[in-house]
Structure 1
């Protein structure tokens, strides 16, 4: 592959933040380059300076290692399609010139924009004959094999697409990098999807089973009306729900919720300790980060999942500063933990942080 760039999907309006983050990550790995983007396009390309740096970076960096990227792949090439009656031919011609590794799956995708969504039908129709053509060339396995590289065809317009490769365990398994969830009809607010996505994508199955086990205790700061509490209750956890608002009546009827009309910044767990602290309060991100770190350092909670509300500007810098503050406080208390920070699909102008203490 002669291209030396990667492509990252992101939420529209977060192109600069994604580009800034890629610049941080590549510099930390000693490989340098520059991002290319346009506002509102919902993707960023990053051009490396050193030969083969894109392949090296994509092999070392998982989507889950980033905050703002939804998907990452190494670009083979960008195609402008002159005759839209034949979109497959130009893709095959590119791959003939730059043969890919044998891939186990094909992902035909588009940006998460209003213009991009108009390409959804095209991508679905295009994927079937392209898949057959790739198998005929021996570039795609007869049956899907997720342990092999994936071939990406990312349409940015009906006559323009990027083609590239992602690695297993490094890419997002979801189409367009989006974890789509169905709203539970009994949940009291759509914010429940934020915590559900975090539990499903930021924790392993083993971590979910150990932390969100029946009978375990949790605290939900800023709980009302109970969207996040709902996710804990359906897992049969006992929840101390802290807020000055009104909790959902059905949640209270479960007998698993202890409602406390108190200030989330002054509240302390009733029994001195809980397994999980969750928080979705509308507060300054540095203030929330300091509060979460205090709960962990003082052993009031073993683990924490919380949202940081983002400012209009310097969002990437704000997130990294808040996380570094948490890391510093944990380190000073000799607490070993893994910290994951993601701009989830069901988030808006916020990121979700999961701090999981190591056993």
Structure 2
């Protein structure tokens, strides 16, 4: 059988939170322009995805080589894709999809059949689940499955049952989770669902077994009540000073490693440096950014995770301004640092920021 001529990806497909397509598009265009790559984005409000098309399609590969997915904020996942495959035959969708997949290479380390994360796509996800079994068997028979762990993953992103994008992502430079979404289970003993934000943040920024989360460390949780974020720290045997005028979950206080102080979170500073600052206060993003910068520049903490609640308009501009202010403050204090930000799955109108002081304490 004659193998089809390789057909390199021409588009960058980015999954994002529905309603944040404009921010996702602005970010990828800004990052591409910094690499002297010009192109245009196709977006549709609340679609949950963005398409970036370089004017020179050969430059799609440059984006994957020069950009780190971990440095992007609004995309949940990115896929280097072929042009849309439209009007898939109802009687045989598998053959054209396999042909497109084969043109990308293979065998692949994984095969992911996905949709946008929208209410409209929930019904489509039923079709995708049913289709995954026969397609997986066909891909296995075609020699496209079972590749090495380091091999690219194949993504088939369905817009509906007749239209799909086929593309690749590369392990180590993409989200490890299908659709870019970690499926976390809400722990019954946690006092609020906000606990999932911090759990996802730890997984996203640190991984499952990071040295920054060790028993016996000390943390401050600003705006702690009722204790969703404190719960994540306590379960890792980290001692917490919980700052909030509201009541904390009694079970957390009974743990013996939580101290609750009813003081102003913007005024409080620990009597001696702690390992962690976490903060999920509802406040203007510029104030939270300045607060975090003060803690890090003043060496009051080594690590910090905090949320920035975004305004209704110019959200990407606000994010960039806040991150620049933090970086400028730490540079001025001559504090080496690492700074990352991501709109997590469990975030809503906000992003989560991770900051770390580098070097000796």
Q: Using structure 2 for the length normalisation, give the TM-score.
A: 0.94
Within the candidate set 121, 128, 132, 2:133 is matched to 128
Give the drift of 1:255: 1.0
Give the drift of 1:2: 4.7
- What is the CA deviation profile of residues 27-85 of structure 1, one whole-angstrom value per residue up to 9, with x for unaligned ones? 12221211111001100000002241111212333432211101101112311134222
Q: Which residue of 2 aligns with 1:34?
A: 40
Q: What is the CA–CA distance in structure 2 between the aligned matches of 1:323 and 1:190, rounded to whole Å?
A: 26
Q: Which residue of 2 aligns with 1:147?
A: 150
- What is the CA deviation profile of residues 199-223 of structure 1, one whole-angstrom value per residue up to 9, with x for unaligned ones? 11111345x3x32211111000000
Note if 1:73 corresponds to 2:79: yes
- What is the CA deviation profile of residues 283-312 of structure 1, one whole-angstrom value per residue up to 9, with x for unaligned ones? 110110011000111111111110000111
Note if 1:52 corresponds to 2:58: yes
- What is the CA deviation profile of residues 223-274 of structure 1, one whole-angstrom value per residue up to 9, with x for unaligned ones? 00000011011111111100110111000001111111011100011x3210
Name structure 1 gaps, 5 residues minimum: none
- What is the CA deviation profile of residues 89-118 of structure 1, one whole-angstrom value per residue up to 9, with x for unaligned ones? 22123346x343432110100000111111
Q: What is the CA–CA distance in structure 1 between the aligned matches of 2:29 and 2:195, rounded to whole Å?
A: 33
Give the drift of 1:190: 0.5
Q: Which residue of 2 aligns with 1:108?
A: 113
Contact 1:111 1:176 in 2 (8 A): yes
SS of the residue 1:212 aligns to: coil
Contact 2:14 2:49 in 1 (8 A): yes
Q: Which residue of 2 aligns with 1:5?
A: 11
Name structure 2 gaps, 5 residues minimum: 1-6
Number of aligned residues: 353
Contact 2:104 2:167 in 1 (8 A): no
SS of the residue 2:91 aligns to: coil
Q: Which residue of 2 aligns with 1:185?
A: 188
Contact 1:215 1:238 in 2 (8 A): yes
SS of the residue 1:6 aligns to: strand
Q: Using structure 1 for the length normalisation, give the TM-score.
A: 0.94
Q: What is the CA–CA distance in structure 2 between the aligned matches of 1:292 and 1:3, rounded to whole Å?
A: 41
